[in-house]
Amino acid sequence: MNQLVNPKAVHKPLGAYSHSVRIPANADWLVIAGQVGADARGRVQDGIRKQAEQAFRNILACLKENGMAKRDLVKFTVYLTDPRHIEAYRAARKKVIGDATVPPSTLVIIDGLASPDLLVEVEAMAAKG
C-alpha cells in the first residue's frame, strides 16, 4: 500500500497534499495525461469550477478503467491560467476528490493551454501495490 509521508523537518503542507509518498516495489503504475474540462463528447465546460470538476471526473474515469481508485493516486500536477482561479480550483478538487485523498501535488500558473477556452489542466499518476 502507498504510504504518505510528511517529514517533521519540512513545513506542514500548505494545502490538500502531502510532501511525499512511498510506493511499494511491486506496484502497478498508471500515468494519466493532462485532463482538461472537456466531457466525453469533447464539450468544454463553462468556467473554472466546472472545468476543474470535469478534469477530476476524467481522472477518476481513467483510474476506474484501469482498476484503480482515488486511494491509488500518488501525484497531481495542476496548470492554471490565472492565479485568481486557485480557490475555485481547490473547491472543485474538494468536491470531486474529497479531503481524504492528498497525494503530493504541484500547482503552476501558466500563460495558456492548448486552447484559449481551457482554464485548467490536471496530470495525475497512480500506483497500486
Whole-model pTM?
Answer: 0.94
Question: Which pLDDT does position 105 carry in this prediction?
Answer: 97
DSSP states along 24-63: -TTPEEEEEEEEESB-TT-PBPSHHHHHHHHHHHHHHHHH
User: Cβ neighbours of residue 101 under 8 Å, at least 6 residues apart?
Assistant: 70, 71, 73
Q: What is the CATH number of domain 27-128?
A: 3.30.1330.40
Three cell numbers written together for 24 = 511499494
Measured CA to CA in angstroms, residue 2 lies from 27, 42, 98, 124, 126 at distances of: 9, 33, 18, 15, 10
How does pLDDT run across 41-59, given as a tens digit for each residue?
A: 999 999 999 999 999 999 9
The rounded distance, in Å, linking the Cα atoms of 122 and 65 is 18
Output the average pLDDT for the chain: 97
* Domains of the chain, residue spans: 27-128
What average pLDDT does the segment 89-94 reach? 98
For residue 121, the number of C-alpha atoms closer than 13 Å in the C-beta half-sphere is 17
